[in-house]
Amino acid sequence: MNAKERIVSLTKALKEYSHQYYNENKSLITDSEFDFKMKELEQLEREFPEFKQSDSPTQKVGAPTQSKFLKVQHKYPMKSLSNTYSILEVGEFISRVEKLSGKSVLEYIVELKLDGLSIALHYENGHLIQALTRGDGEIGEDVTQNIKMISSIPLTLSENFTGEVRGEIVMPISQFVRLNSERHYKDEEPFANPRNAASGTLRQLDSQIVKERNLDAYIYFLQSPESYGISLHSETIEYIERLGFKTTGIFTKCTTLSNLEESIKKWEKGSETLDYETDGLVIKLNDCRLYTELGMTAKSPRWAIAYKFPAKRATTQLLDVTFQVGRTGVITPVAELEAVLLSGSTVRRASLHNFSEIERKDIRIFDRVVVEKAAEIIPQVVSSIVEERTGIESIIERPKVCPSCGSILFDVGIAIVCKNRTCFERVKQQLSYFVSRQALNIEGLGEKNIESLLQKGFISTLSSLYDLKDRWRELLELEGFGEKKVVTMIENIEKSKTISLSKFIYALGIPFVGAVTAEILVDSFHTFEAIRGASEEALCDIYGIGVQTGKAIVEYFSDRVIQEELEELLSKGFEFSSAVHEVIEDGYFSGKKVVITGTFESYKRDELKELLKKIGAQNITSISKNTDILLVGKDVGSKLEKAENYGIMIMTENEFKLKLMEMRDSI
């Protein structure tokens, strides 16, 4: 391939990679591979400028926006930083800055480079008026309404500030794990990583989804700091924090390359302890007065550079596919890989999620594939590298029978399911889930012990765990079950019978019911009997429980086999505690179903929900004929018209406050 052909090929490929990354929230190749291809194109364009394409990605940041959001021209272009993976290139950056500035001793600030979605926030007289994504660097998307749903972004500042700040929208790793767990329950495609989850969430047309997913924001840049009498970047961070913005609080002042190298080594390890994803460090000249003097290249400022950490993705070969049986009978395909080092550990297996994902991504046995650790935890196959196929690759066939029990498999939505309730692997996973730390937390009953007890016939159901105390002599005869171990195990099993009701509900493994949903159920119904007797309509009226979840709960408790097992389980003597909010039983709002719409001057949405619980109201999400009150703030939507059509009481924020004043002695 000659220089012209290579330039054309790289230009086309990099444009497609950028489109998928910025508009589709998909990463077709690793960041480092993208950066190396971009550097190769830049080098070729310098050597053969006559072949440079007019739409070359070397001259653009990001990709043209293609969403339904309003496109807006940035007042100041949002440039990207030039990247390096080498401390030697950091030294070259320092030399360039010293040469351009004419100064031999300069101070630099080292900050964490968050792996999220860049945002520009515009304020006028201390009030948020607009929020724009990066887009292609020149034109971004107006996502103001969604940004208002992120609690860490202040709508009103502590000072009368007019101007622009920039930062990063991220999804905390803990929230990412919880969200993907919920998506797994719902047989929905999991997010590949927190960055994709944050980007996909912020582009939702329904702002309530943004609110529910608990995004976070960290601000790191003030546009035109000299306008505010600020000359150092370190001072801009202090000013940003004073205005009320959240920053990482992590930055180091350095004056030498050795100082910078120490910071790099420190944070390559230290960043792994944080609850947000980072992909490197930003090294930035501290003296803001030199920014204009040093200027910009077509894409990047000359006064800053990004040092990228070693890749959290890697490429390897997919050697085979095996199949795991989950506790609900869902069959999960697992990639068996040629061993590869990823984020400090050797990876030989990775999730392929489901067959719809395999088919959509066109992944085949013997493909070269991109592997990633989602939030540094779960290895997964992100994509295949089609360009490297040799012809030996083969289609991954759907299994027809369960790999554990041999039963015929069934298609249920996008999942393939074993419906045999006595399937060994399925029962093992159910029991392991029931005793896990997040559920009943029965220590001494790990998966290996569960498997051994199942194989020997000591257990077969959840309730059978509580019969082990009557067979302790027989347990002592098992290999690996000494007296101390058996005594401790049985004591922990007995202790587990005193448990919070929400943990017990979670431990049952009801489809779509995770820890948060379990707490919502307990807060709403208070008792196990009320929860298992609730109608689908009553469940769907609860804020945080959708139609799919409500239907799944009713189906679970209606199942005859499950009913019998639950009766047997409850007969073992469980005592439930519940963290139900103290409720005013006889107040004006007691028992009333209240829908909230709009924004409120005196309350954040979460505060209002908690207050409604305290005064005995039931907060629901949608208007129906059974709704008692629509509580309205500013900027209300279609719920108001629907409530008026049903003849539902409309209550303003001030009217709500007056009612609370009447109840003051009761609260």
Identify the sign of the CA torsion 626, 553, 555, 206.
Answer: positive
Q: Are strands 331-342 and 304-308 parallel, antiparallel or unpaired?
A: unpaired
Q: How many CA atoms lie less than 13 Å away from 324 in the CB half-sphere? A: 15
Residue tagged active-site, from 113, 312, 361, 373: 113
- Is 113 known to be catalytic? yes
Determine the residue type at 338.
E
Q: Which amino acid is at 383?
A: S
DSSP string over 124-172 = ETTEEEEEEE-TTSSEEEB-HHHHTT-TTS-SB-SS---EEEEEEEE--
DSSP calls for 213-267: TT-EEEEEEESSGGGGT--BHHHHHHHHHHHT------EEEE-SHHHHHHHHHHH
CB-CB contact of 318 with 335 (8 Å):
yes
What's the token pair of residue 523? Answer: 């807060």
* Cα angle for residues 148, 149, 153 (degrees, 5° grid): 55
- 7 CB neighbour count, 10 Å cutoff: 22
Nearest to 400 by CA among 418, 413, 427: 418
Q: Around Cβ 580, how many Cβ atoms within 10 Å?
A: 15
- Residue 178 CA to residue 515 CA, distance in Å, equals 9
In terms of Cα–Cα distance, which of 369, 363, 358, 365 is closest to 332?
358
Residue 571, exposed/middle/buried by CB under 10 A (0-12, 13-18, 19+)?
A: exposed
Active site residues: 113
